[in-house]
Chain A
Amino acid sequence: MATEPLPLQKNAATAAEDVVPVAVSKDEGHPLVRFDKVVKRYGDHTVLDELDFTVERGEHVTLIGPSGSGKTTILRLLMTLERVSDGVIWINGEPLTHIRGQDGSLKPASEKHLRAARRKIGMVFQQFNLFPNMKVLQNITEAPVNVLGMDRDKAEARARELLELVGLSGKVDAHPSQLSGGQQQRVAIARALAMEPEILLLDEVTSALDPELVAGVLELLSDIARNTDITMLCVTHEMNFARDVSEKVLMFDAGRVVESGSPEKIFTDPSHERTREFLNAVL
């Protein structure tokens, strides 16, 4: 299963031409994601404090750090589920959180801008969040049909391919409630992939799973990482997964990047005491 080429990218190119009218600019001069002095506050509590970091196109980045350090917040800001309190998030050189005015100044983005901007970004949640009122197939086709305007037959064919990819061909007509947690999460992954995201956000996607189901989902994600050019940001406590999948690990604490580097470097020879403490605690 691991070596099979994924049907994903092959179709991604054609589908992008057919369906998404806005050409995706492949501007190599910019990092794909750039946090620029991003601040996030909840009331008086500053969760992210002038956070700066970048993610390059095609990179697979793992975010680690103690509970409450702001990892989820980072992904939620990127998914535009939350708004920044200050600073700007850039995607491919374009502001995600803001609109560029005629004079070049940045204004907070409207809902409409956000809806368009977030199309390139997909997210898989810890709790799956499948739509329980829809069968598996419709969970996957809903957005391609209604957001991308994809032809229903084509969307269904794609959905079936994706279900095969995640190992659930037999569950096309099942309801989410009839699936195990691991299967639900696979459907959620297929659903996110169906939108052909450039960036996939994964927030502790195996934490809600029974231990025996974790490995399968992680293997699937490794496959996706290897066989597609989707940029991935993962929050995980599975250090092996981080090592397998990502080229870069970002260690967060108190809303700032403590250090970043290859998994090898961070896990075996961290530069910071804080990282060492954290890794000792989780490993």
Chain B
Amino acid sequence: MTKDFDWGAVGDAFPLLLDGFWTTLLATVFGTLVAAVLGLAIAVAGRAPSRLVTVPVKAVMEFIRSTPLIVQLVGAAALFTSVEPLTVGIVVLGVHYATYTSEVYRAGIDAVPKGQWEACRALSLTPRRTWQAVILPQAVRNVVPALGNYAISMFKETPFLAVITVHEMVFQARDYGTKHFVYTEVFTLAGLIFLVASYPTSLLMRKLEKRLGH
């Protein structure tokens, strides 16, 4: 096996893959940001007193959750041809994951005791202040570890972006592999880079969880 393993190709492809890795990272970071913010908005909207808000939100969420990510990517790329693929990818990833993070937020919000809402009402706090000063700070605390786990799983799904021609790491690996016929080497390398990046992140998340007292 060692005989066939082309170390030269590994060295050769490494800068290319690293380049792709930055794109992967970029997509993950911004995708997570979108998912974190939008998920929160969906969770809060889900608690709106009017069904005019809650029903459409639920319908869209169901739609997004019941179609595969890759279909959403291709569909969005086809719809928004004038937008840069990476941007489309980030938004689609973010929206897709927002349907999951919103559930996490919802659980976090539900975990805030009823007495907190009642104390807010008894003090005549506005709904805005109630959310901002009391409910969300307590809910988000419960939510951070789960958000971290979604970030990691989004990171591992970024290769789907290759389908819409985003030059992330796996796109680069395949590109190089096709040109030089060294799939094993470059994909092993890509896998290693994923591992090196996500394993410490998971450890970090676990530490964070402990610190937040979960």
The distance in angstroms between the C-alpha atoms of A18 and B91, with both chains bound, is: 49
Known: A129-B118, A129-B119, A131-B116. A147 touches B137 (CB 8 A): no
**CB distance A195 to B121 under 8 Å?**
no
Whether A81 sits at the interface, judged by CB under 8 Å, is yes
The distance in angstroms between the C-alpha atoms of A115 and B121, with both chains bound, is: 8
**CB distance B122 to A79 under 8 Å?**
yes
Whether B47 sits at the interface, judged by CB under 8 Å, is no
Q: What is the minimal beta-carbon distance from A19 to any residue of chain B, in angstroms?
A: 13
Whether B125 sits at the interface, judged by CB under 8 Å, is yes
**CB distance B121 to A127 under 8 Å?**
no
Whether A186 sits at the interface, judged by CB under 8 Å, is no
* Nearest residue, chain B, Cβ from A146: B129
CB < 8 Å: which of A81, A132, A146 contacts B121? A81
**CB distance A119 to B124 under 8 Å?**
yes
CB < 8 Å: which of B121, B126, B129 contacts A79? B121
Whether B59 sits at the interface, judged by CB under 8 Å, is no
In the assembled complex, which residues on chain A have CB atoms less than 8 Å from the CB atom of B116?
129, 131
**CB distance A118 to B121 under 8 Å?**
yes
Whether A80 sits at the interface, judged by CB under 8 Å, is yes
In the assembled complex, which residues on chain B have CB atoms less than 8 Å from the CB atom of A79?
118, 121-122
| Total residues of chain A contacting the partner, CB 8 A | 25
* Besides the known contacts A80-B121, A125-B115, A192-B122, 13 further A-B residue pairs in the complex with CB atoms under 8 A apart: A79-B118, A79-B121, A79-B122, A81-B118, A119-B124, A127-B115, A132-B138, A133-B134, A146-B125, A146-B126, A147-B123, A147-B129, A192-B123
**CB distance A191 to B123 under 8 Å?**
yes
In the assembled complex, which residues on chain B have CB atoms less than 8 Å from the CB atom of A146?
125-126, 129, 133
The distance in angstroms between the C-alpha atoms of A127 and B119, with both chains bound, is: 10
**CB distance A81 to B122 under 8 Å?**
yes
**CB distance B122 to A131 under 8 Å?**
no
Q: Please encode chain A, from 202 to 221, with 1 for each CB lying within 8 Å of some chain B CB and 0 for all others.
A: 00000000000000000000
The distance in angstroms between the C-alpha atoms of A192 and B122, with both chains bound, is: 8
CB < 8 Å: which of B113, B115, B125, B138 contacts A142? B125
- CB neighbors of B among A103-147 (8 A): 115-116, 118-119, 121-123, 125, 127, 129-134, 142-143, 146-147
The distance in angstroms between the C-alpha atoms of A132 and B123, with both chains bound, is: 16
The distance in angstroms between the C-alpha atoms of A191 and B134, with both chains bound, is: 15
Q: What is the minimal beta-carbon distance from B121 to any residue of chain A, in angstroms?
A: 6
**CB distance B126 to A118 under 8 Å?**
no
**CB distance B122 to A118 under 8 Å?**
yes
In the assembled complex, which residues on chain A have CB atoms less than 8 Å from the CB atom of B126?
115, 146-147
**CB distance B124 to A195 under 8 Å?**
yes
The distance in angstroms between the C-alpha atoms of A139 and B122, with both chains bound, is: 13
The distance in angstroms between the C-alpha atoms of A79 and B116, with both chains bound, is: 14
Q: What is the minimal beta-carbon distance from B48 to any residue of chain A, in angstroms?
A: 13
**CB distance A143 to B125 under 8 Å?**
yes
